[in-house]
Amino acid sequence: MPDFFAQILWSYDFTKIDPEKQKKTIIINAINYGDLRHWRWIVNYYGKEIIKEILEKVPATEIKPRTRRLTSIIFSVKYFNYASRGTH
């Protein structure tokens, strides 16, 4: 994993991150806090389909509102996983 990911994975021990075991964490942090080079790396490493699957499964609140529209366009995300509201 490229060293430039350390800046967006600041709360993790970067030397122990496994790109396969922690792909959700890496993808979500790249989407929320990364720049173009982070986005390119995750696309090249994981592929758009894997990224799309993860984005559709995680709660929508894990994706920053400012990036949802762009991610939906780039990764063809048809829906985000919004929690249903209870009726009170």
- Segments forming the whole domain that contains residue 29: 19-74
The answer to whether residue 41 scores a pLDDT higher than 80 is: yes
Domain membership of residue 47 (yes or no) is yes
CA proximity to 39, closest of 72, 59, 80, 48: 48
Domain membership of residue 58 (yes or no) is yes
pLDDT of residue 82: 74
For the chain, the helix, strand and coil percentages under 3-state DSSP, each to the nearest 5 = 60, 0, 40
Domain membership of residue 30 (yes or no) is yes
Q: Share the mean pLDDT of the chain.
A: 91
Q: What is the pLDDT of residues 65-86, one digit of tens each?
A: 999 999 999 999 988 877 666 5
Which residues is 81 bridged to in the sheet?
59
| φ/ψ bin of 31: left (φ > 0), alpha (ψ from -120 to 50), beta (otherwise) | alpha
In the chain, the number of structural domains is: 1
CA proximity to 55, closest of 82, 32, 37, 28: 28
The answer to whether residue 88 scores a pLDDT higher than 60 is: no
Domain membership of residue 59 (yes or no) is yes
